[in-house]
């Protein structure tokens, strides 16, 4: 009986397997559907399955009882168990996804990239937006041999999925292609004019800041009315963002439309040179606009234009004409070779980038800058005085090398400050070092408009600081002196960027007939760990507070600018300079998010110029908690006569005028910061995707002008009413006292 049950179970299993094969054919349509017959077959299949399951369970139960029998002869057990030698068969049905049509992931074979490479894909690469790769933590024991996915012994297989990171909906992408194809040839689009509603929508799009991402619908709208928008210079960057540059036909037509566009502003040209636009025709169009800028204006943006070289198509091979594919590189070399002032800064900006060996820079970027520097020096020799200018740059490099050497020796000597100062003075006084007399006169790298003839050893000072910066005073060809501070061990590129932006903002304000006496000092990074800054004769507010009592800042100005005929006893010109410069720096440092403000880095010159120094924290970063958005101390306001004085009201008015004027040029400032995202600036490197947004937040572009002024007024009031800055200044004072 047991043998019959086993045979029947085997037959049922065989029949179930045969029917399973037929069911698959029935499901895909190979066997026609007959409803009444299908129901009978399905019911019979279900019954057979139940019988097979019951038979398997009975056989297992009998086998367990048989194994538990003890004391019987081994041959008897073997004989009885022979009927159950075949284990029961179990079937696991796995339902796999099926598609009505073949799924094509790609029409050609791809080189499979490592999964880790997804994180380094630039957001604008290949014209497609991608999500950043998420951080994934695996369980214990997985990839224990090596963290690398490609390591031998790794238990995770790499699978390439073309859909990873794609945010576009396939249906929307198909719709967009169909929409663009209907407007591709532009025969009808040339005469399209928007109605009132569409015109308002287009105007809203035109007013977007450079950081705004257009929606697919907005892109289609801009493309549809592209010919109508050619008369609006604001629309070009929006149009460039709306083009699918990977589509050859669409890209070709877009390039043709570029030639019809009205002349754009410099801020839009700078945006087109960013990482978002890789098409050579677009970048060449932007360079053509920059050709119309004079050397003075070009110098204001040179730092960012050097960074934009990273996004150019430049061959790093040292061959003739290898820069032909980069209109920006050729343009900068041409202009820098023709003007030594421009060429001086261009050379040092390139040298710093070549010196950057950090992982963030990458060998490809260093090779690009090395190639551009090589071609620049070659181009110099073709100029009338090019060989002399080339030698001048090399002499500047020798001067910087000498200053760097003595600065390193002083910083690492471990001697007392007086011995360090004597060591530096004796070094500079040694004729063999060729610093007492510099002949022929040498343009100073920090400010090439100043030609130096030698150094004055007796006026050399070593500051009491961890880096032991050296103050050097040079003689100039006109008989004047020019003091600088040179230090090694600090990356001055962030300070250099802030001073450049302050200089630019000063120019923008003066174009609006608003002179705020900003007096931005010169600063130049000569490498990633060395640089020089102009020394401006001044006193920090902490020093002034220690020397003068009562109203320290006002007493300081009275001492240098006495005038008993004025209400506050200070010469009107000096007090006006103080009020204007206070307003300018309060607004600018608020926009840039400058942090770590205390009385030691707030400086006041004898003629009334107020300014900030030490920009180690920007974009809202601050090492101290509860720091206000704007630094406005009681000492600063007391010097104006207090919050009830007319001078303070005038200060607030200057703040509002400056803020309104700079908001008009917000696009230019935002585009300059966008070009610095990959510049390896410390506070930008921390969150490069948020750096520009942090500056944009301070402009409050979502508010109208009146609302923005109210917002700034609250910032000023909060800064003055906050107790946190008072505590911070006092703690900083105690810390400095303990350190000294």
Please give the pLDDT value at position 721: 85
If DSSP codes are grouped into helix, strand and coil, which group holds residue 663? helix
Q: Are residues 668 and 612 part of one domain?
A: yes
Question: Is residue 409 predicted with pLDDT exceeding 50?
Answer: yes
8 vs 290, more confident: 290
The answer to whether position 138 is within a domain reads: no
The answer to whether position 156 is within a domain reads: no
3-state secondary structure 201-241: HHHHHHCCCCCCCCCHHHHHHHHHCHHHHCCCCCHHHHHHH
Q: Are residues 434 and 376 part of one domain?
A: no
Tens of pLDDT, residues 328-347: 999 999 999 999 999 999 99
Name the domain boundary from 65, 84, 103: 84
Please give the pLDDT value at position 361: 86
Please give the pLDDT value at position 658: 97
3-state secondary structure 445-479: CCEEEEEEEEECHHHCEECCCCCCCEEEEEEECCC
CA distance 324 to 315: 9
The answer to whether position 400 is within a domain reads: yes
Percent of the chain topping pLDDT 70: 80
Query: Domain tally for the chain?
Result: 4
With tokens 């990239």, the residue in question is: 113
The answer to whether position 79 is within a domain reads: yes
CA distance 578 to 538: 13
Written as six digits, the tokens of 269 are: 């040209």
Bridge partners (DSSP) listed for residue 474: 455, 482
Please give the pLDDT value at position 133: 45
How confident is the model over 655-663, as a mean pLDDT?
A: 97
Please give the pLDDT value at position 626: 81
Question: Is residue 56 predicted with pLDDT exceeding 90?
Answer: no
Written as six digits, the tokens of 499 are: 């001073």
Question: Is residue 500 predicted with pLDDT exceeding 80?
Answer: yes
The answer to whether position 149 is within a domain reads: no
Q: Are residues 364 and 256 part of one domain?
A: yes
Tens of pLDDT, residues 266-290: 999 999 999 989 899 999 999 999 9
CA atoms within 13 A on the CB side of 662: 33
Q: Are residues 728 and 597 part of one domain?
A: yes
Q: Are residues 580 and 435 part of one domain?
A: no
Q: Which of 567, 572, 548 is nearest to 559 (CA)?
A: 548
**CATH code (residue 342):** 1.25.40.70
Question: Is residue 450 predicted with pLDDT exceeding 50?
Answer: yes
How confident is the model over 10-29, as a mean pLDDT?
A: 77
Q: Are residues 375 and 448 part of one domain?
A: no
CA distance 346 to 448: 12
Q: Are residues 186 and 319 part of one domain?
A: yes
CB atoms within 10 A of CB 313: 14
Q: Are residues 325 and 204 part of one domain?
A: yes
Name the domain boundary from 56, 84, 112: 84
Q: Are residues 412 and 329 part of one domain?
A: no
Tens of pLDDT, residues 541-566: 999 998 998 899 999 999 999 999 99
Question: Is residue 585 predicted with pLDDT exceeding 90?
Answer: yes
Please give the pLDDT value at position 136: 47
Written as six digits, the tokens of 591 are: 């926009």
The answer to whether position 150 is within a domain reads: no
Please give the pLDDT value at position 466: 79
CA distance 56 to 632: 87
**CATH code (residue 681):** 1.10.1070.11
Please give the pLDDT value at position 557: 96
The answer to whether position 112 is within a domain reads: no
CA distance 446 to 467: 20
CA atoms within 13 A on the CB side of 198: 15
Name the domain boundary from 477, 507, 534: 534
Domain boundaries, position 294: 181-386
The CA R_g of the chain, rounded to the nearest whole Å, is: 37
Tens of pLDDT, residues 127-144: 444 444 445 444 444 444
Question: Is residue 638 predicted with pLDDT exceeding 50?
Answer: yes
Bridge partners (DSSP) listed for residue 178: none
**CATH code (residue 488):** 3.30.1010.10
With tokens 């402009």, the residue in question is: 699
Query: What does the mean pLDDT of the chain come to?
Result: 83
The answer to whether position 175 is within a domain reads: no
Q: Are residues 402 and 373 part of one domain?
A: no
Tens of pLDDT, residues 141-200: 444 444 454 454 555 556 666 666 566 677 777 777 777 766 555 566 677 888 999 999
pLDDT category at 27 given cuts 50, 70, 90 is confident
CB atoms within 10 A of CB 504: 21
CA distance 399 to 474: 12
5: Cβ–Cβ under 8 A, 6 or more apart, which residues? 55, 58, 59
Over the range 450-481, which residues count as b (16 or more CB within 10 Å of their CB) and which as e? bbbbbbbbeebbbeeeeebbbbbbbbeeeeee
Q: Are residues 335 and 427 part of one domain?
A: no
Which of the given ranges, 206-215, 658-667, 680-689, has the highest pLDDT on average?
A: 658-667
Residue 562 phi/psi, 5-degree rounding, is -75, 140
pLDDT category at 107 given cuts 50, 70, 90 is low
Q: Are residues 380 and 392 part of one domain?
A: no
Question: Is residue 211 predicted with pLDDT exceeding 70?
Answer: yes
Bridge partners (DSSP) listed for residue 524: 532
């Amino acid at each position: 009986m047991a043998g019959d049950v086993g045979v029947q179970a085997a037959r049922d299993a065989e029949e179930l397997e045969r029917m399973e094969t037929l069911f698959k054919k029935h499901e895909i349509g190979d066997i026609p559907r007959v409803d009444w017959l299908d129901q009978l077959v399905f019911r019979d299949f279900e019954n057979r399955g139940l019988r097979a399951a019951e038979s398997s369970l009975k056989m297992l139960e009998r086998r367990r009882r048989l194994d538990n029998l003890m004391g019987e002869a081994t041959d008897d057990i073997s004989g009885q168990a022979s009927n159950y030698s075949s284990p029961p068969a179990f079937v696991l049905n796995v339902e796999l996804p099926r598609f009505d049509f073949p799924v094509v992931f790609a029409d050609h074979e791809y080189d499979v990239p490592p999964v880790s490479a997804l994180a380094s894909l630039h957001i604008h690469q290949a014209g497609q937006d991608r999500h950043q790769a998420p951080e994934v933590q695996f369980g214990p024991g997985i990839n224990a041999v090596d963290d690398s996915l490609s390591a031998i012994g790794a238990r995770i297989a790499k699978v390439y999925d073309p859909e990873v990171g794609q945010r576009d909906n396939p249906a929307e992408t198909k719709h967009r292609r169909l929409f663009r194809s209907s407007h591709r040839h532009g025969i009808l689009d040339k005469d399209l004019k928007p109605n009132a509603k569409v015109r308002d929508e287009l105007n809203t799009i035109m007013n977007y800041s450079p950081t705004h991402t257009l929606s697919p619908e907005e892109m289609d709208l801009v493309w549809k009315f592209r010919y109508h928008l050619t008369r609006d210079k604001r629309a070009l960057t929006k149009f460039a963002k709306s083009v699918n540059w990977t589509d050859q036909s669409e890209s070709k037509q877009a390039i043709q439309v570029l030639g019809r566009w009205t002349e754009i502003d410099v801020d839009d040209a700078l945006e087109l040179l960013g990482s978002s636009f890789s098409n050579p025709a677009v970048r060449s169009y932007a360079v053509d606009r920059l050709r119309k800028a004079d050397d003075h204006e070009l110098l204001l943006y040179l730092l960012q234009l050097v960074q934009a070289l990273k996004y150019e198509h430049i061959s790093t091979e040292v061959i003739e004409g290898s820069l032909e594919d980069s209109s920006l590189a050729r343009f900068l070399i041409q202009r820098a070779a023709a003007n030594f002032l421009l060429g001086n800064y261009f050379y040092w900006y390139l040298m710093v980038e070549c010196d950057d060996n950090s992982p963030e820079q990458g060998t490809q970027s260093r090779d690009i800058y090395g190639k551009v520097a090589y071609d620049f020096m070659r181009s110099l020799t073709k100029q009338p005085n090019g060989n002399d200018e080339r030698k001048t740059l090399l002499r500047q490099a020798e001067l910087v090398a000498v200053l760097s050497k003595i600065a390193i020796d002083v910083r690492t000597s471990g001697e007392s400050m007086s011995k360090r100062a004597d060591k530096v003075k004796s070094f500079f006084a040694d004729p063999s070092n060729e610093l007492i007399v510099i002949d022929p006169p040498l343009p100073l790298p920090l400010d090439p408009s100043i030609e130096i003839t030698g150094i004055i050893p007796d006026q050399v000072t070593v500051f009491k600081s961890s880096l032991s910066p050296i103050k050097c005073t040079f003689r100039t060809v006109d008989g004047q002196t020019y003091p600088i501070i040179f230090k090694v061990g600090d990356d001055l590129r962030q300070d250099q960027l802030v001073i450049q932006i302050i200089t630019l903002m000063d120019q923008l304000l003066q174009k609006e007939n608003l002179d705020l006496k900003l007096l931005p000092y010169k600063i130049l990074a000569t490498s990633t760990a060395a640089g020089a800054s102009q020394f401006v004769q001044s006193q920090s507010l902490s020093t002034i507070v220690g020397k003068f009592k009562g109203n320290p800042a006002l007493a300081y100005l009275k001492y240098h600018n006495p005038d008993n005929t004025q209400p506050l006893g200070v010469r009107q010109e000096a007090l006006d300079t103080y009020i204007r410069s206070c307003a300018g720096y309060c607004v600018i440092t608020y926009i840039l998010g400058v942090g770590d403000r205390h009385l030691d880095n707030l400086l006041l010159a004898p003629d009334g110029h107020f300014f900030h120094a030490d920009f180690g924290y920007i974009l809202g970063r601050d090492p101290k908690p509860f720091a206000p958005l704007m630094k406005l101390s009681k000492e600063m306001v007391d010097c104006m006569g207090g919050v009830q004085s007319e001078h303070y009201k005038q200060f607030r008015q200057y703040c509002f005028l400056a803020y309104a004027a700079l908001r008009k040029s917000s696009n230019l400032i935002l585009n300059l910061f966008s070009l610095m995202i990959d510049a390896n600036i410390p506070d930008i490197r921390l969150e490069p995707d948020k750096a520009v947004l942090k500056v944009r937040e301070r402009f409050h572009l979502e508010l109208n002008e009146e609302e923005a002024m109210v917002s700034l007024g609250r910032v000023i009031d909060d800064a003055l009413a906050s107790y946190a800055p008072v505590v911070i200044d006092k703690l900083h004072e105690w810390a400095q006292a303990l350190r000294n």
